[in-house]
Amino acid sequence: MDARLLDEDKVMQICFVTDDLEKSVNWFAELTGKPVPPVGKAADPETANAIYRGKDAAVGCRLAMFEFGNIDVEFLEPGPEPSAWRDLLEAKGPGCHHIAFKTRDLTKRHAYLEGKGHALLQRGEFNGGGGRYAYYDTVPDLGLMIELLEFDDDRARQPGD
């Protein structure tokens, strides 16, 4: 098993969950002077192939991403269905949901995090394809989740490829 989490020395993203995406995004844009980014959504259930707490799930969200030179700041409003996003919003209210790291090998990093006792809560494919995400339960240790992002154009060769 690989004895590290990081493939590169940077945090890719920090995400905040909210119950009012437009209000949060407008507030942050005014605070930072950044333009309001376009609102997007999670992949449709047919293409997301999402798993939530070990079972197939039709999870959804709306999101907006502020791009900074060194990190992206994401605001995410979960749909009404159970999800890792909805769980944290209901448990703690609006606030920090996760920090994200890019990985070239989600399989190895998954084994590493689960070996450290951090269960996979949710995973799925990106909207538009091109990669996948996975959330791990690091809330007891960090107060937020860790997300791993794997992009097809930078993915390490896997057995069977």
- pLDDT tens digit sequence for 97-111: 999 999 999 988 999
pLDDT at 90 (0 to 100): 94
The answer to whether 91 touches 106, Cβ cutoff 8 Å, is no
- pLDDT tens digit sequence for 108-144: 899 999 999 999 999 998 866 688 999 999 999 999 9
Angstrom distances, CA of residue 65 to CA of 72, 85, 150: 6, 16, 18
Predicted confidence (pLDDT) at residue 1 exceeds the cutoff of 50: no
- pLDDT tens digit sequence for 26-58: 999 999 999 999 999 887 777 788 999 999 999
- Cα 103–82–111 angle (5° rounding)? 30
pLDDT at 43 (0 to 100): 74
Predicted confidence (pLDDT) at residue 155 exceeds the cutoff of 70: yes
- Pairwise CA distance, residues 30 & 116, whole Å: 40
- Pairwise CA distance, residues 56 & 37, whole Å: 31
